[in-house]
Amino acid sequence: MADSIDASVKLLEDCLGLKQNELFLIVTDNKKIALAQQLHQAGQRIGAESMLLLMEERKKSGQEPPIPVAEAMKQADAVVCITEHSLTHTAARKEAVATGTRVATMPGITEDMFYHGAVTADYKKVRALTEKVTTYLEQSSEVRIEKEGESLTFSIAGRHGIASTGVLTERGDSGNLPSGEAYIAPVEGTATGKVKVDGSIADIGILNSPLWLTLENGKLVDVQGEAAEQLLTLLHTDKSRQLAEFGIGTNDKARITGVVLEDEKVYGTIHLAFGSNVTFGGQIEAGVHIDLVIRDPDVYLDGKKFINKGIPLVNMSLSK
């Protein structure tokens, strides 16, 4: 337990910049209360006014927390949402950030992640790479993903890229912990083509066999593979089947474990998501956000190769 508290103190100080006398809120559910209690004790050790708020487990990622939870998030200096399902893409998080709250979301995190994998990364290194990749995304207008003879194309013109660096020390900073991804909201209605998903899927886990996704006019219209019905059940409305996110993993310590919090950060992978994206520059509000991780793809920005077999070519020039 002592080692766990020490690791939690380091995480809160290094990544969230938590200080003595700050108002620190941990939002949790019954699935994650043990880890939440460790963070609560870590906050107390730092000298923050630490508060633990237990709510009912959400039914899916992207579902809003109860109104009192959302209101409490706005009043704190720093918040950690350590829950089974993600609160990252919720209005509650977005509104808390707008008031200046520093918010870290840790959906599905396990004790193993505190000692191995993504949490152990050098976050200065992660930050540098993530910001560089995000800059390239913001300079581009079109993305093309190629893998095993299939291609998916969509526009990102005019969209603001998000650098999820794991360093959330400034007023209004927000992101996942552990972190390490650059992501952006594709322009709605522009995604067309086919793509193979062979890593993992949020709320499903590691895939035993791949899925083949077909998109037309920004919407998922067909899924083939063993987990197809599970995915379609999660994405059961027209809004939830719209492409919402394109992301690139930048954490070289992250592993594919079946927990999307870590999986989508893996260096050498990209991810797509369907559902809500209003919290990071898109126009879709679907009440769900499901990420799908793809291993070792090739990615082109405005027709020029930017990712080769999963690895960003960050020293290249995007000039034609």
CA–CA distance, 234 with 130 (Å, rounded to integer): 29
pLDDT band at 113 (very low <50, low <70, confident <90, very high): confident
Contact of 15 with 42, CB cutoff 8 Å: no
Contact of 113 with 177, CB cutoff 8 Å: no
CA–CA distance, 281 with 310 (Å, rounded to integer): 25
pLDDT band at 169 (very low <50, low <70, confident <90, very high): very high
Q: 288: Cβ–Cβ under 8 A, 6 or more apart, which residues?
A: 60, 61, 62, 63, 234, 235, 240, 275, 276
Q: Which helix (H) or strand (E) holds 305?
A: strand 304-308
pLDDT at 120: 84
HSE-CB for 84 with a 13 A CA cutoff: 14
b vs e for 146-173, b when ≥16 Cβ sit within 10 Å of the residue's Cβ? bbeeeebbbbbeebebbbbbbbbeeeeb
pLDDT at 318: 44
The strand pairing partners of 196, in sequence order, are 212
What pTM value is reported for the model? 0.82
pLDDT band at 2 (very low <50, low <70, confident <90, very high): low
pLDDT at 320: 34
Q: 122: Cβ–Cβ under 8 A, 6 or more apart, which residues?
A: none
b vs e for 257-292, b when ≥16 Cβ sit within 10 Å of the residue's Cβ? bbbbbbbbbbbbbbbbbbbbbbbbbbebebbbbbbb
Mean pLDDT of 109-137: 89
Average pLDDT over the chain, rounded to an integer: 94
Which pair of tokens denotes residue 103? 């918010």
Closest CA to 270 of 114, 133, 108, 72: 133
Closest CA to 27 of 72, 94, 77, 63: 72
Mean pLDDT of 269-294: 96
pLDDT more than 90, % of the chain: 84
Quote the distance between the C-alpha of residue 194 and its chain's center: 23
Identify the residue with better confidence: 279 or 199: 199
CA distances from 109 to 25, 33, 47 (A): 17, 11, 24
Q: What residue segments make up the domains of the chain, in order of their start?
A: 2-109, 121-312
What is the DSSP annotation of 194-221?
EEEE-SEETTTEE-SS-EEEEEETTEEE
Contact of 272 with 214, CB cutoff 8 Å: no
Amino acid at 182: A
Query: Does domain 2-109 correspond to CATH entry 3.40.50.2000?
Result: no
Q: Which helix (H) or strand (E) holds 143?
A: strand 142-147
Mean pLDDT of 169-177: 93
Helix ranges, the chain (H)? 2-15, 33-46, 67-75, 91-98, 111-115, 123-138, 228-234, 260-263
